[in-house]
C-alpha cells in the first residue's frame, strides 16, 4: 500500500462479497478514517462452466483456481490485499505473498443438504449425491458405497437450485458459508466434526498480502484472530507435508480444547475404503510452534499411507 485507499481484491460471488464485507466492517472499527476500495476480480473458478462439469480435487485442481487472478493482481500492484476462503487456498503461496491474517473461525462443520431425508443413511440405494470435493466423496463412499457421486459446480445458491430441480438427491456444503449467506431450514443437517473432518482452513476468512508491504500488513494486525491463526498454521503446515498439490482426500482440523490445541488429520483413498488418521494435543503460543506441530503430525502419519493414495 502506498497512499490513498486500501484496495481489497475479492471474487464477485455472493459468499465472497459477504466475507469481504466482514473484513471491511472489522477494519472500519479498527481504523475509522481508513478509505477502502473494493476491487472485484473474476477468477479461474468463476470462468469454469457449470454444465458438462468435471470433477475438481479438494486441492490445487479446485483450490488455487479461486485465488490465482487475485494473487496476480496483488503481485502486479493493482490491489493491496485479497480476501479468501482459507479452504480455497493452494497449499503453497506464490513467492512474495503472505497469509498471516484471519478473522475468527466460524462453524467448521460440513452439512448434509437434503429436503427429503434427514441423514445419509436414509437415502435410497444408488441415490445421486453431488460434490466436486474428493474429501466429501471419500466420506460419502465410506458410509454408503452404493451411492452415485456426481460433480456439482456453481455458488451455494446455484447448487441448491440444482438440488431443488431434482438433479441430485443430496449434496454436502460448508456450514460456515450457509450461515454467512443467511440460509437456514430443515433441509440443512449439520455433520459432527468427529463424523466428518473438515477441509484444511474450512470456515476461516483469510487476508492475503504482499510479504514486503509492511504498511498494509500492519493495518490488519488489530483484526487478526490469533487462535484461529494458529489453527490455520497447523492445518496448512500439515497439508504441505502431505503434498497438498496431489489429488488426495485430506481432512485437517485444529481446535482449542481445555487450553491446549488438538489437531486431527485424516487421509483417505478416493473410494473411502482406506482411511488413515492421527491426532495429538499441544500447547501452542506462537506461529512457529503451530507450524511445527502441524508438520510433526503429518510427518508421523505420512509413512503409514500407501504411496498410491498420493498418486
> Cell triple for residue 204?
476461516
Residue-level pLDDT at 63: 59
Over residues 210-245, the pLDDT tens digits come to 999 999 999 999 999 999 999 999 999 999 999 755
Contact 27, 21 (CB under 8 A): no
Same domain, residue pair 256 and 131: no
Provide the domain limits for residue 246.
226-304
Contact 135, 199 (CB under 8 A): yes
Same domain, residue pair 170 and 231: no
Residue-level pLDDT at 44: 64
Separation between Cα atoms, residue 174 and residue 252, nearest integer Å? 14
Question: What is the reported pTM?
Answer: 0.92
Same domain, residue pair 265 and 218: no
Same domain, residue pair 266 and 181: no
Residue 107 a catalytic site member: no
Same domain, residue pair 233 and 249: yes
- Asked if residue 238 belongs to a domain, the reply is yes
- Asked if residue 31 belongs to a domain, the reply is yes
Same domain, residue pair 129 and 68: no
Q: Which of 80, 88, 213, 264 is catalytic?
A: 88
Number of domains in the chain: 3
CATH of the domain at 240: 3.30.160.40
Residue-level pLDDT at 27: 98
- Asked if residue 170 belongs to a domain, the reply is yes
Residue-level pLDDT at 64: 66
Question: Which residue's entry shows cell 503472505?
Answer: 98
Same domain, residue pair 208 and 101: yes
Same domain, residue pair 70 and 116: no
Over residues 28-76, the pLDDT tens digits come to 999 999 999 999 998 765 545 444 444 444 433 455 678 899 999 999 9
- What backbone phi and psi angles, to 5 degrees, belong to 208? -100, 135
Over residues 241-299, the pLDDT tens digits come to 997 556 899 999 999 999 999 999 999 999 999 999 999 999 999 999 999 999 999 99
Same domain, residue pair 178 and 296: no
Confidence check: pLDDT of 300 > 90: yes
DSSP H or E stretch at residue 120: none
Amino acid at each position: 500500500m502506498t497512499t490513498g485507499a486500501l484496495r481489497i481484491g475479492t471474487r464477485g460471488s455472493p459468499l465472497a462479497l459477504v466475507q469481504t464485507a466482514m473484513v471491511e466492517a472489522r477494519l472500519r472499527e479498527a481504523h475509522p478514517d481508513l478509505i477502502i476500495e473494493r476491487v472485484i476480480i473474476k477468477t479461474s473458478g468463476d470462468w469454469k462452466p457449470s454444465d458438462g462439469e468435471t470433477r475438481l480435487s479438494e486441492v490445487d485442481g479446485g483450490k488455487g483456481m479461486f485465488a490465482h487472478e487475485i494473487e496476480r493482481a496483488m503481485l502486479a500492484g493493482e490491489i493491496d490485499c485479497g480476501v479468501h476462503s482459507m479452504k480455497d487456498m493452494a497449499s503453497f503461496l506464490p513467492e512474495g505473498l503472505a497469509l498471516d491474517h484471519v478473522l475468527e473461525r466460524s462453524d467448521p462443520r460440513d452439512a448434509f443438504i437434503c429436503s427429503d431425508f434427514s441423514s445419509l443413511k436414509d437415502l435410497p440405494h444408488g441415490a445421486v449425491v453431488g460434490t466436486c470435493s474428493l474429501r466429501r466423496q471419500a466420506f460419502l463412499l465410506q458410509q454408503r458405497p452404493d451411492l452415485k457421486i456426481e460433480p456439482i459446480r456453481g455458488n451455494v445458491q446455484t447448487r441448491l437450485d440444482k438440488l431443488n430441480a431434482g438433479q441430485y438427491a443430496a449434496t454436502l456444503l460448508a456450514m460456515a458459508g450457509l450461515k454467512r449467506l443467511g440460509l437456514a431450514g430443515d433441509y440443512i443437517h449439520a455433520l459432527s466434526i468427529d463424523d466428518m473432518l473438515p477441509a484444511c482452513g474450512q470456515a476461516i476468512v483469510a487476508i492475503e498480502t504482499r510479504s514486503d508491504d509492511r504498511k498494509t500488513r500492519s493495518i490488519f494486525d488489530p483484526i487478526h484472530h490469533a487462535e484461529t491463526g494458529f489453527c490455520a498454521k497447523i492445518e496448512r503446515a500439515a497439508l504441505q507435508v502431505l503434498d497438498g498439490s496431489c489429488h488426495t482426500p485430506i481432512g485437517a482440523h485444529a481446535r482449542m480444547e481445555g487450553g491446549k490445541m488438538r489437531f486431527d488429520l485424516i487421509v483417505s483413498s478416493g473410494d473411502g475404503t482406506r482411511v488413515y488418521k492421527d491426532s495429538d494435543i499441544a500447547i501452542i503460543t506462537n506461529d512457529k510452534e503451530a507450524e511445527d506441530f502441524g508438520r510433526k503430525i503429518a510427518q508421523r502419519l505420512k509413512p503409514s499411507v500407501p504411496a498410491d493414495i498420493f498418486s
